[in-house]
């Protein structure tokens, strides 16, 4: 499910006039998402997570997870909504496959955040546990709901400038966002994680030598 930050106060004909050219450009280039440069913070330091409602990999309430405590590790973050079709068909199967491949590596951390900007009655905190059980994914999950009364989007979406759900963010050992997009294939993500682990190892070896 995508969200495009165009003011709903604009006339419908103008909204269509703005969206159609961008959509046609997307089709012509074969790009997965629309207006790629409009979204994401690739190359920037990953903002700290401002979330209080978390569950651990077993579905139990846990203390908030902080990225600052994970510095030095490779982090894969997945933003979803329970009712998002793309999350069900692609996002969850992807993170499941990656956790099966890298779950035993303590230097790789997987996090899932439900970033709710619509369907507040359905995309509730309870859906965290439901999603864990459905896909047998033992990763920490957080719930980040916006405010339907004010059309305020979740803080995670604002800070990471995600375009909607599903949305994937990969962070290197230095805390820099190296990937953010709507979709990523399993093998593509695996190669990226392996490359980041190698760069991490090279960095650590260099620090030891310098010391």
| β 108-116/177-181 pair status | unpaired
Report the CATH number at residue 181.
3.40.30.10
pLDDT at 170 over 50: yes
Asked if 156 and 91 sit in the same domain, the reply is yes
Asked if 152 and 201 sit in the same domain, the reply is yes
Name the residue with higher pLDDT: 46 or 27: 46
Asked if 58 and 23 sit in the same domain, the reply is no
Distance of CA 83 to CAs 27, 99, 143, 165, 173, Å? 26, 22, 14, 10, 32
Contact indicator for 2, 152 with CB cutoff of 8 Å: no
Q: CA 92, CA 99: separation in Å to the nearest integer?
A: 11
Asked if 140 and 174 sit in the same domain, the reply is yes
Asked if 68 and 157 sit in the same domain, the reply is yes
| β 74-80/108-116 pair status | parallel
Distance of CA 23 to CAs 14, 144, 174, Å? 14, 29, 35
Instruction: Report percent pLDDT > 90 for the chain.
Output: 73
- Residue 117: its pLDDT value, please? 93
pLDDT at 208 over 80: no
pLDDT at 204 over 60: yes
Contacts of 124 (CB under 8 A, 6+ apart): 82, 143
Contact indicator for 200, 72 with CB cutoff of 8 Å: yes
Asked if 80 and 114 sit in the same domain, the reply is yes
Strand-pairing partners, residue 116, are 145
Asked if 177 and 104 sit in the same domain, the reply is yes
User: Tokens 């979406």 identify what position?
Assistant: 157
H helices of the chain, in order, are 12-29, 85-86, 92-102, 126-135, 155-160, 186-210
Q: By residue range, what is the domain housing residue 33?
A: 1-38
Residue 140 pLDDT class (50, 70, 90 cuts): very high
Contact indicator for 156, 65 with CB cutoff of 8 Å: no
Asked if 61 and 149 sit in the same domain, the reply is yes
Asked if 91 and 156 sit in the same domain, the reply is yes
Contacts of 107 (CB under 8 A, 6+ apart): 72, 73, 74, 173, 197, 200
Residue 38 pLDDT class (50, 70, 90 cuts): confident
Summarize pLDDT for 40-92 with one digit per residue, the tens.
Answer: 999 999 999 999 999 999 999 999 999 999 999 999 999 999 999 999 999 99
Asked if 92 and 164 sit in the same domain, the reply is yes
Asked if 132 and 163 sit in the same domain, the reply is yes
What does 140-171 look like in DSSP terms, one character per residue? -EEEEE-BTTTTBPPHHHHHHT--BSSEEEEE
Q: How many domains does the chain have?
A: 2
Rounded to a whole number of angstroms, the CA Rg of the chain reads 18
Asked if 137 and 192 sit in the same domain, the reply is yes
Residue 14 pLDDT class (50, 70, 90 cuts): very low
């Amino acid at each position: 499910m995508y969200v495009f930050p165009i003011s709903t106060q604009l006339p419908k004909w103008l909204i269509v006039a703005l969206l159609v050219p961008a959509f046609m450009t997307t089709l012509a280039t074969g790009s997965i998402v629309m207006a790629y440069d409009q979204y994401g913070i690739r190359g920037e330091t990953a903002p700290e997570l401002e979330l209080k409602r978390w569950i651990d990999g077993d579905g139990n309430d846990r203390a908030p997870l902080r990225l600052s405590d994970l510095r030095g590790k490779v982090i894969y973050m997945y933003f979803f909504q329970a009712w998002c079709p793309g999350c069900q068909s692609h996002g969850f199967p992807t993170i499941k496959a990656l956790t099966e491949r890298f779950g035993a590596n303590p230097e790789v951390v997987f996090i899932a955040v439900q970033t709710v900007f619509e369907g507040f009655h359905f995309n509730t905190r309870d859906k965290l546990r439901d999603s864990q059980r459905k896909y047998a994914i033992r990763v920490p999950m957080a719930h980040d709901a916006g405010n339907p009364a004010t059309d305020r989007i979740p803080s995670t979406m604002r800070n990471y400038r995600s375009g909607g759900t599903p949305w994937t963010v990969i962070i290197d050992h230095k805390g820099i966002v190296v990937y953010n997009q709507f979709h990523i294939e399993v093998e593509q993500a695996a190669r990226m994680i392996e490359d980041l682990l190698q760069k991490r190892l090279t960095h650590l070896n260099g620090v030891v030598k310098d010391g």
